[in-house]
Amino acid sequence: MKKMVYNFSEGDKSMVQTLGGKGAHLAEMTKIGIPVPPGFTITTEVCAEYYKLGKKISPELWDAILKNVTKVETAMKKSFGDKDNPLLFSVRSGAAVSMPGMMDSILNLGLNDEILQGLAKKNERFAYDSYRRLLQMFGDVVMKVDHDHFEHILDSRKKTRGIESDTELTADDLKYVVDEYKKVIKERSGKDFPQEPKEQLKLAIEAVFNSWNNDRAIAYRQLNHITGLIGTAVNVQTMVYGNSGEMSGTGVYFTRNPSTGENKLYGEYLMNAQGEDVVAGLRTPQHIETLKKIMPHCYDELVKIYKKVEKHYKDMQDMEFTIEDGKLWILQTRNGKRTAYAAIKIAVDMVKEKLITKKEALLKVDPKQIDQLLHKQLDPIARERAVALTKGLPASPGAAVGTIVFTAEDAEKAKEDGKKVVLVRTETSPEDIKGMAAAQGILTARGGMTSHAAVVARGMGKCCVSGCSELIIDLTTKTARVGNTLLKEGDYITLDGSTGTVIKGELPVVDPEMKGDFKTVMNWADETRKIGVRTNADTPHDATVAKNFGAEGIGLCRTEHMFFEGDRIKAVREMILSTTELGRRAALDKLLPMQRGDFEGIFKAMGTLPVTIRLLDPPLHEFLPTKEEEMQELAREMKVSIKVIKEVTESLHELNPMLGHRGCRLVITYPEMAEMQTRAIIEAACNVKKETGNDIVPEIMIPIVGHVNEFVMNKKIVDETAAKVMKEKGMALKYKVGTMIEIPRAALTADKIAEHAEFFSFGTNDLTQMTFGFSRDDIGKFLPDYLSKGVLEIDPFVSVDQEGVGQLMQLSVQNGRRTRKDLKVGICGEQGGEPKSVAFCHKIGLNYVSCSPYRVPIARLAAAHAAIKDENRRE
Amino acid sequence: MKKMVYNFSEGDKSMVQTLGGKGAHLAEMTKIGIPVPPGFTITTEVCAEYYKLGKKISPELWDAILKNVTKVETAMKKSFGDKDNPLLFSVRSGAAVSMPGMMDSILNLGLNDEILQGLAKKNERFAYDSYRRLLQMFGDVVMKVDHDHFEHILDSRKKTRGIESDTELTADDLKYVVDEYKKVIKERSGKDFPQEPKEQLKLAIEAVFNSWNNDRAIAYRQLNHITGLIGTAVNVQTMVYGNSGEMSGTGVYFTRNPSTGENKLYGEYLMNAQGEDVVAGLRTPQHIETLKKIMPHCYDELVKIYKKVEKHYKDMQDMEFTIEDGKLWILQTRNGKRTAYAAIKIAVDMVKEKLITKKEALLKVDPKQIDQLLHKQLDPIARERAVALTKGLPASPGAAVGTIVFTAEDAEKAKEDGKKVVLVRTETSPEDIKGMAAAQGILTARGGMTSHAAVVARGMGKCCVSGCSELIIDLTTKTARVGNTLLKEGDYITLDGSTGTVIKGELPVVDPEMKGDFKTVMNWADETRKIGVRTNADTPHDATVAKNFGAEGIGLCRTEHMFFEGDRIKAVREMILSTTELGRRAALDKLLPMQRGDFEGIFKAMGTLPVTIRLLDPPLHEFLPTKEEEMQELAREMKVSIKVIKEVTESLHELNPMLGHRGCRLVITYPEMAEMQTRAIIEAACNVKKETGNDIVPEIMIPIVGHVNEFVMNKKIVDETAAKVMKEKGMALKYKVGTMIEIPRAALTADKIAEHAEFFSFGTNDLTQMTFGFSRDDIGKFLPDYLSKGVLEIDPFVSVDQEGVGQLMQLSVQNGRRTRKDLKVGICGEQGGEPKSVAFCHKIGLNYVSCSPYRVPIARLAAAHAAIKDENRRE
């Protein structure tokens, strides 16, 4: 029989599968000498065995548990069940993968009527409160007495006493509550609350095992595709109390600042309080530094510990501690969540400190997260000059400028109306989440760095200033005050989430820049990654932004977007309305100089970097007006009757435009369109080459190819036109002709297409649409059901569906390169900037990914991650 | 050096690649002693060599040609270039694959001014006509003088002389024309027509080689995807003349009746005529039998020859002959085209005659063609009683009933108006083809069995009576007469294409039956084929028709078609308009008994044969009205405001319904729909089992699956409902749950889906739409261009695109069977009855194809062909 129970001194962090995440890290800390309240872990294998035995705890297991109880008693010099010096336990679940809140826990285990009296001698209120909590949890979890019954008793008592908060309840109140709880347990379950501590323990362990297969837990595992786990471990740990008096306290801290990354202990605590009091935000906690004065020895020990643990885990840690009667206990450590800014600073600092390598540092920055850094910041000069109205905690960095709203609903409404607002609240709660998402930023009067507002805002990458204590909000008049300053709904306000500064009025914001540590990390990423990162950009402005973000070229320049600018749409419509080739050519001649100008701008912006230009993609009807008045205006402009406009619109109508007459199919019918576009590209390249001396090598991309013949016919037009233009210009120019791979058939016949195409670019938007048979425009009717019911794990338009779409991609790369060894392959669908998709593209050997300008740094980092993980796997 | 020139006596039919089709069969006939005008073939390899040498005839080649000329001179006892007894040649192209009319030919080669005089001694008009033809062809093909110049001279002369036909030109007219032709050649080409016969020969051979790469020929090869050929062979053959006097003639014949298959010589000829006179239909030719009286020795020889050739080729032959001065020559043989009816009779007869095996017989019947036999025929009793108005030639079998039209345009217009018409013409020409297609049948006054009308009608599988000589048509009054009977436009007429009978009035027609030789062939097919043939049928009637045609089950029963019948659509709309599950369930409850009734009918019709029922496939908006008045009616019926109807319609609107909320996706949102349908199926199966004792095993098919989870969730509902129903009924029933493979992603993840699905059925309509990204509804805008420009060889909705869609199918079969060894796989898309697609399905190992009832026999035969060809390949 395998070892069933591990004392915390027997395991380590490598045993996550056996001990669960919580158990393994408690053991690891114990191992390196951190003062963890003693305890033991019953393995996940035992849980599986428990179910095999028909939900029974075997005598051998019980034996092992009791032996471990004894060990803890020895260590703590207390006895489980002793009325004078009682040892109490917490019994907690803990699987190998975190399933927060899904399974059950019971605290204060080991109390009974008699032991309570022993405890009460020291602190009566504390003793009754602990007992009341045990009764409530045990009653609910083990004895299946509905939660509501307990809540009801508690609420009644508070009402009777005219108080609002649990903390206001006196020892007498709690005595009354304990009695009532015991009655309701008896009444509802038909049994008395078991007074025997060992019986409590056994029942509690069974309850935790049982909770592994409760409906919530099963649903959670399904929804999150957590498979391969055999059960939960059970952690039985000595209870310690931060609320047992003035020499007690509890707190959380980060080994470095999770907001700025500064290498300085960062955290908060409350004396004579329990853990949840810190998180709840009802009392504003003290900064951890102040502990130095209050309990210097505890503070010194804390510093020693945090340094040791961080060095051990080689990462910034998020830790919980409790001081019970002057003795420091560490209850938890885990890698700390942090802002992107902090992640970058920490990563760079730790390399400087020689704690980690560059590659390890890169892995500490989550590519998804750095999106935060790519948003606007306050203009530094304006900020310098601005007078702060007040200051709060810098809960989540970035800048927010907007008019004030005081409720989440108002924020949502304002968002719908296109207004930019800052949500100002006393504190936030889960009901406010939508409003927080709708706002530019969040300002709260109460709550610390770990308050609801702070945690949620950081998660959203949204600017937040919390715990701004000078702020007094009057919801009834929708106004707020800071000293003598009145803030009304609709007034402008500016937040600096990185400093906690609040400024009245509207400050200018600037675009993010890549510098300092961010630049360092990005440079490391570039040194490390194997695949290129290009951008999707249709204008010189976008091209420049992307280049500054490190884009190594344009992977997709959509020419149709240019068709909508200014007066061009008129010429486009003229072309569409022409019934003859001659008429179409006349209209295209008008478009030519405009398109040429666009391309010149883009070529100039990109210098010698490659630019891939896609020829016209959408069906023609997308360019026609749909409303009666617009049609009438067009008729007037074109000097035709509205009947003609309607007829053409009708004739171009498609039942499934996604699968209609578009892309290269249009060119088969109207070759003159590709002629004009090719001419514009080649002429622009010649002109810019002449002007700048840069060797421009345009990459012309044919969209919607499904059959090699389509490509061949399109390429022929491009080649003939290019030859003609070069002859006219008397210039020789290299250019490439390639294709989008966005039709399943193109992927399936990539070998044939690669005989003619010089490069491929995956159009994963359309490829996903056709591979799934999902219309992106219509998916809203069923995708939410698909995600909530677990049919799909993730929206395949957000992250490449590796199993299906990815299979086609892999096939294309393999088969395409079989025909053309040096075939360059990229991706330019929306997923090109999504980290998981970037990793997949790395894996299947793409040359580059291309994404929107603001995602370029994300893609660069994700590509580095992929390369490092690949390397680690090989080692 | 390989042999460059083959005398006809040196080759055989196996040498098609070297000698071309024409050359190989001339050699084969020569080899077995058929009197073929002597000649020789220059190989296709020489053509390739000719191009390699820069379009030069090498001295060695010229030497070999001259040696062969001498051989022919010896055989014919005539001399090439001899003015008294001249040998003349035809020089014809002939590639390994027939490219009719694409390359050049020159006849009467070897004539010049001097030799002409020798020939003229015998028959002056004939001599000048021959010379004029040589000048025209040689001038055009070799000397590049435009065709029009010659036509112009000929037309002027006819105008001057006031005549219309070439045959009315006298010897003097032709003398004039010859002089003018020589002048125009000199004038336009700057050179005289070469008088030296050997020079003529050399230039002619070069011209034929050059024509291999003329624009037309290149385009034809591209369009028809003819690849792998190295060049054309050149056939140089002794000219023989059927128009050299009263002892001469020319004709064509089939070794058996190509219309009925009767084992009797069948053909027609004209004395003192050239080949094109027979085909042109200007003079109505004589029946071949009459030759017996006119030239008994020629007739006897013809009979001997045709029997020999047919026995040799083991197939009905289509042959051309010429009699020159009483001597019979055979100019061509090839397998004869025939009606489906004839093909079947010939195949069965030849097996009876022990000429061929059953399998060889099966290969002689083209599956595409038997469609003809599946169309209506005249009711035999009515036909027996009916008085024939007149009789023509039975040019194409079947029956046609309709009102008379006299022009092709009228036929087209009538078709548009939904009228059934018979096209009555003196003779037809290529401009009439659309009208012919629009008509039920064609009746012509002139022209034989090989006239334009007859050939085209047979090709179309359309009833035709030709050469109805009693019929006199007056186009100006749009009337026709047969004796005293007047036929006006709009009068009913009935044709029996199998007998040539024309009946005034409207006779009843009957559905085709499978009997006699047809049944025999179908039985052989069933013995031979390896894959099953099912049908797509939604009603008991269709199921019965298909069963009678030999369907072995239903491969696709579309339940949504049932939703439109009678009052059901109301309940369907009620369901769609319900905003609650309760409301939907109430509406579904109304549909349940109707659907159950449908399934009972189908199960009864099919007996113990398997029935695959597909659950609801289309998006819900397809069931809602689109017109204002219909909406208003629906609003009244449903007792809701029209606003509600419009809102629901609007909310269900989809931009790309093909890729929308449909099939199994609906069931994820509204499980109650699948519950109702499953209940209807299982209840029906229980009821029919109880009533008939037949063991019904319903196959329930989930549509639009793209991800295994979709299938699993749908199957769960089906299984739970089935279990519930069986419990209610107290009956046990086997049933299967499988899926359509119609989404590319399903094909790509077939291994995963097969873990749960018990069968697959390829929905190649949707699979083609998504693999190509083609909307079937919108393809009309570009598919014609695609086919005409050669982007696609064939409409992929007609015949499975083996390269792309087929690749996904093959993948599905392989991967599906890897997971589930005995996975049953079928196809139920439209292509399931198309012979090439059937062959492909056989090749990739499908268990069955399923097609519309009328295509079942086609599929059975196609499946047999596939099996035989497979066997032959393996041997």
Distance CA B359, CA A120 (A): 101
Distance CA B114, CA A830 (A): 82
Two tokens at B365?
């019947």
Contact between chains at A804 and B748 (C-beta distance less than 8 A): yes
Residues from chain B that touch A707, judged by Cβ atoms under 8 A, are: 772, 791-792, 804
Two tokens at A778?
């219509």
Contact between chains at B782 and A668 (C-beta distance less than 8 A): yes
Contact between chains at A709 and B791 (C-beta distance less than 8 A): yes
SS3 assignment for A620-675: HHHHCCCCHHHHHHHHHHHCCCHHHHHHHHHHHCCCCHHHCCCCHHHHHHCHHHHH
Contact between chains at B656 and A659 (C-beta distance less than 8 A): yes
ipTM over 0.90: no
Residue of A nearest to B703 (CA): A773
Distance CA A498, CA A259 (A): 7
pLDDT digits 0-9 by tens, B352-385: 999 999 999 999 999 988 877 876 778 767 776 7
Whether the pLDDT of residue B461 is over 70: the answer is no
Distance CA B192, CA B116 (A): 16
Residue A664 known to be catalytic: no
Q: Where are the alpha helices (DSSP H) in A213-313?
A: 215-223, 275-280, 291-294, 296-313
Nearest CB to A775 within list B660, B745, B782: B660
**% of residues, chain B, pLDDT over 70:** 97
- DSSP secondary structure string for all residues of B559-582: HHHHTTSTTHHHHHHHHHH--SHH
Residues from chain A that touch B787, judged by Cβ atoms under 8 A, are: none
pLDDT on residue B236 = 97
Residues of chain A falling short of pLDDT 70: 1, 223, 276-282, 375, 380, 384, 450, 459, 461, 566
pLDDT on residue A380 = 66
CB-based burial, B173-202: b 16+ in 10 Å, e otherwise = bbbbbbebbbebbeeeeeeebbeebeebbb
Mean pLDDT across chain B, nearest whole number?
91
- DSSP secondary structure string for all residues of A385-438: HSPPSEE-EEEE-SEEEEEEE-SHHHHHHHHHTT--EEEEESS--GGGHHHHHH
**Residue B778 confidence class, pLDDT cut points 50, 70, 90:** confident
Residues from chain A that touch B669, judged by Cβ atoms under 8 A, are: 781-782, 785
Residue B557 known to be catalytic: no
Residue of B nearest to A653 (CA): B778
Two tokens at A425?
């609240």
pLDDT on residue B392 = 87
CA distance A352 to chain B (A): 48
Lowest mean pLDDT among B505-519, B683-697, B838-852: B505-519
Whether the pLDDT of residue B736 is over 80: the answer is yes
Nearest to A294 by CA among A235, A258, A262, A246: A246
Nearest CB to A709 within list B781, B790, B801: B790
pLDDT on residue B9 = 95
Contact between chains at A659 and B773 (C-beta distance less than 8 A): yes
Residues from chain B that touch A815, judged by Cβ atoms under 8 A, are: none
Task: Tell me the count of A-B CB pairs closer than 8 A.
Answer: 173
pLDDT on residue B459 = 59
Contact between chains at B668 and A789 (C-beta distance less than 8 A): yes
- Provide the pairing of β-strand B89-94 with B399-405: unpaired
Q: Where are the alpha helices (DSSP H) in B232-356?
A: 275-280, 291-294, 296-313, 340-352
> What is the phi/psi pair of residue B255, to 5°?
-70, -20
Contact between chains at B778 and A749 (C-beta distance less than 8 A): no
| Measured torsion, CA atoms of residues A788, A791, A792, A797, in degrees rounded to the nearest 10 | -90
Distance CA B427, CA A303 (A): 108
Q: How many CB atoms lie within 10 A of CB B447?
A: 28
Cα R_g (chain A), whole angstroms: 33
Contact between chains at B659 and A658 (C-beta distance less than 8 A): yes
Higher pLDDT, A568 or B305: B305
Burial class (CB in 10 A: 0-12, 13-18, 19+), B554: buried
**Residue B540 confidence class, pLDDT cut points 50, 70, 90:** very high
Distance CA B23, CA B36 (A): 11
Q: Which of B25, B452, B621, B842 is catalytic?
A: B452
Nearest CB to B782 within list A655, A661, A807: A661
pLDDT digits 0-9 by tens, B317-354: 999 999 999 999 999 998 888 878 889 999 999 999 99
Nearest CB to B659 within list A704, A749, A778: A778
pLDDT on residue B280 = 57
pLDDT digits 0-9 by tens, B22-47: 999 999 999 999 999 999 999 999 99
Contact between chains at A773 and B713 (C-beta distance less than 8 A): no
CA distance A662 to chain B (A): 10
pLDDT on residue A557 = 96
Q: Which of A828, A842, A851, A865 is catalytic?
A: A828
pLDDT digits 0-9 by tens, B279-293: 555 677 889 999 999
pLDDT on residue B276 = 66
CA distance A667 to chain B (A): 10
Residues from chain A that touch B803, judged by Cβ atoms under 8 A, are: 748-749, 752
For helices B581-606 and B568-577, angle between their N-to-C axes, nearest 10 degrees = 150
Q: Which of A25, A452, A621, A842 is catalytic?
A: A452
Distance CA B709, CA A192 (A): 47
User: Span B498-511, mean pLDDT?
Assistant: 87
Residues from chain A that touch B717, judged by Cβ atoms under 8 A, are: none
Distance CA A836, CA A799 (A): 7
User: Span B109-137, mean pLDDT?
Assistant: 91
CB-based burial, B560-599: b 16+ in 10 Å, e otherwise = bebbeeeebeebbbbbbbbeeeeebbebbebbbebbbebb
pLDDT on residue B380 = 66
Residues from chain B that touch A773, judged by Cβ atoms under 8 A, are: 658-659, 704, 706, 742-745, 766, 770
CA distance A749 to chain B (A): 7
Burial class (CB in 10 A: 0-12, 13-18, 19+), B139: buried
Nearest CB to B772 within list A706, A752, A808: A706
Strand partners, A238: A89
pLDDT on residue A74 = 95
Q: Which amino acid is at B169?
A: L
Contact between chains at A766 and B773 (C-beta distance less than 8 A): yes
